[in-house]
Every structure is written in C-alpha cells, then in structure tokens.
Amino acid sequence: MTPHYINKLKLLPLLLIAFITSCSQQEESLLAENIPAVSDNNIEYGGVMNYLTDIGTVNINVMANGNYPGKNDASYIKNINSPNFSYCHPDVEYFPNGFNGYKYWMVFTPFFGVIGNVRESERYENPTVVVSNDGLNWSSPNGMTGPLQKAPSLNESFPEKDGAAKYTFWSDVDWTFEKGKFSLYYRGSFIKASSLQNRGAKSQNNLKKLKNNAQRTIVRQTSTNGISWSPLEAVYTSNPPYSPKNNHILSPSIVYDGQEYVSFEVENNISPNFPGNDPSYIIQRTSKNGLDFSNFQQSKVVNFINKPWTNVNPEYAPWHIQASYVDGYYFLCIAAGEVRKYTSDMLYLAYSKDGLNFKVLAKPFVEQNTYRSCFFPMHTDNENIDFGAIIAYKSGVFKYREFQLNKKKLDACLTK
C-alpha cells in the first residue's frame, strides 16, 4: 500500500467528521424568523361574554371505517352516532345561503369515545366530510360514503425507529373554502413516500416533494362540490428545509386572506430551533397557490401579546390550533395544555390584525377536558362578527355554541 494511499485513508475519518458537523450546524441553524413583539396595552375585551354556553350536543350519523385499502372487514366498521360519540378535530365552513344543499360543512376524524385512546384507534382517524343545516345533526352529503382516505396499511408504513413497531395514521384535518373550492389539508404520519405517491396525483409536485420518507407529511385535496375530491398532493414534510427534522408539524391550519394562503402550525420545542423555553411555538407560513408554502427558515414565529394559560399552569402552551380569517382579522382557536405530555385541557381565542401578533381573550371558552376545536364566522357587519363553534371534548363529544365579538372592542385591545 503506497504512502499516498495511506494518507488518503487517514483523511477519510476527518472528512466524515467535518461532513457530520456541517450537517448538524445546518440543522441547528434552521431557525424560523422572530418578529419583534408588540407590547400589551393591558386593555381587556370588556362587556358581557356570551361564549360560555353550549347550545347542544352534536350527533354525527356516519360509520367510522378502519379498513386498509382493498379490505372490507365488518369488524372495523363502527357506528359513531349518538350515544357512541367518537369525534375529533373538527373544522367547519358555514354558508348562510347554503352550498350544495347545506349551510354547515364539517371535516373531522373519528377517534375518541367508544373507539378509545389506544393505537388501534388511529386506524379510524381518517378525514371524513359531513353536512348539516342546524349545526347539531350531521350526516354524509348525498353521493358520498366513507372517509376520503382509508387507513394506511402496515405495508405503506415505516417505523419511527429501527426495531420499533409500525403505526401509521392520518390526522389534523383542516380546510378552507376559497375561489369556489374546498382545499382540505391533513397530516400523514410514518407513511412511506412511495405509498403517498401511489395514493396521490401523478404530478411533478409529488415527484419533487416525495423523494424521501418523512415522519410526517402535510397533504392537500380539493373539491368544487364537497363530494368529488382531487387526488392528494404533498404540501410539505417534516424533513429540512420544510421543518427541523422529524418535528411534529402539528395541527396546521390554513386561511385565505384574499391575497395569499396563510398557514399556522404548532412546533414542539424539542430542538435548538426556537429562541426560548416555551414548550411549543406557533409558526406562520405563506403561499400564493396553497400548495407551495414557505420553508421553515422563511417562516415566522407568532408572538402572543399575553399568555393567559401560563397563569393556570406555567407548563401550558398551545397544543392544537384552528385558524379563521374574516374582515381583516385573524383568529386562532387554541387548545392549550401540557404539551410535553402531548395533551390539552383549556380552550382560548386569540385575534390579530397582522397575523403575527395575537392578543388572547383572558377568559377561556372551556377550562378543562377539551381538544382541538374550531370557531367559524357566520355573519359579519360594520360592528360585529357572529361566530359558530364546535367544541371538541376529549371524551369524543362535540358541542355546538354561538357567540359574537365586537370589532371596536377587539381593536381597542390591539392598539398600543
């Protein structure tokens, strides 16, 4: 062996260390942009708060289907209407004059209640569309049966760690209605990139974004009637440059503000990619087409002018969120709790005019046992915004309520 060759061999470990160090530094430098925080003017939203009373219990008359593609085992088809409540993660679009025959359109995932909080439950956590004309009684729209996607099979999945058991699922549904169409977003966890390609559109977008497996992938489907849906398209994944590697990209919620799509998502503070010690942060991304959103480094960290949940428990932080936009206001429905224990308890409403600095109503909508819920605008005029709400409890029960917010009072709370 020549000395020249031996010297090259000696260099290999050093080059490998330099390469690993460089990759690690790139990972650590993957930071979202911090926006200067706005100070609190200490003005609270005054007057009577009419958002604390549920109108009634929601009943969803559908079957939850936990079958894998190509399977139709009756034991994995469960009736989840009353009293077998098993509802999770609602998002509602309201049409005062109706759309395709219905005023309320909701996407949700079956999960809790009779199905239970065990791994097997995730087979049922599939995006499901239902409709209503009173906000209380829901069923599938005419011409639609079953979930939009069946449960991912074990053959479509990969383990979180070498030697670990496979578990894979859909979750975190959210949608918008803009330009005459629904845009439905949801998250796939531990699903092979090749499996997503097989289920999805044969597009350049999917070829580009689904080259490598990612622990979590946000996907989108669209529809102009709520019944027939386009094949899924990849939006972004939990791999760099979209996210610090293997972060959870939790509960993304998207609004269309008339100019662009704005996405809000929760990122657990499990890496050196965030500036403080909060258990979680919310980041904002933007997109012109609803499909190509800002990479993590071009996203922005949302500021909260106040954090009333920390007065209850300093370990509390946002766990799941839902966003809406109306008349120049961004609203976040925040399920806050012990994020490090992967749960929430309290439900708050936050509001903003710039989508980056949010004031939070000091009094929560619910003080315990709530999960990701949703608020949706029903009517607006020069003075007020009327909202509906689906309050999701960890027991698997949904409740319906309505409330009103005054624009002048909101503005007064936001003014420096």
Mind listing the pLDDT tens digit of every residue in the chain (416 residues)? 554 444 444 444 444 444 443 444 444 457 888 888 899 999 999 876 788 889 999 999 999 999 999 999 999 999 999 999 999 999 999 999 999 999 999 999 999 765 555 667 889 999 999 999 999 999 999 989 889 999 999 999 999 988 888 889 999 999 999 999 999 999 999 999 999 999 999 999 999 999 999 999 999 999 999 999 999 999 999 999 999 888 899 999 999 999 999 999 999 887 666 778 899 999 999 999 999 999 999 999 999 999 999 999 999 999 999 999 999 999 999 999 999 999 999 999 999 999 999 999 999 999 999 999 999 999 999 999 999 999 999 999 999 999 999 999 999 999 76
**Residue where the block lists tokens 């704005």:** 262
Residue 118: its pLDDT value, please? 64
Nearest to 346 by CA among 324, 322, 363: 363
What does the block give as tokens for 318?
Answer: 């946002």
Residue 6: its pLDDT value, please? 44
Residue 348: its pLDDT value, please? 98
- Domains of the chain with bracketed CATH: 62-414 (2.115.10.20)
Residue 121: its pLDDT value, please? 84
Residue 62: its pLDDT value, please? 96
Q: What are the φ and ψ backbone dihedral angles of 151, each rounded to 5 degrees? A: -60, 140
CB 195 within 8 A of CB 156: yes
CB 150 within 8 A of CB 69: yes
**pTM recorded for the entire structure:** 0.92
CB 99 within 8 A of CB 226: yes
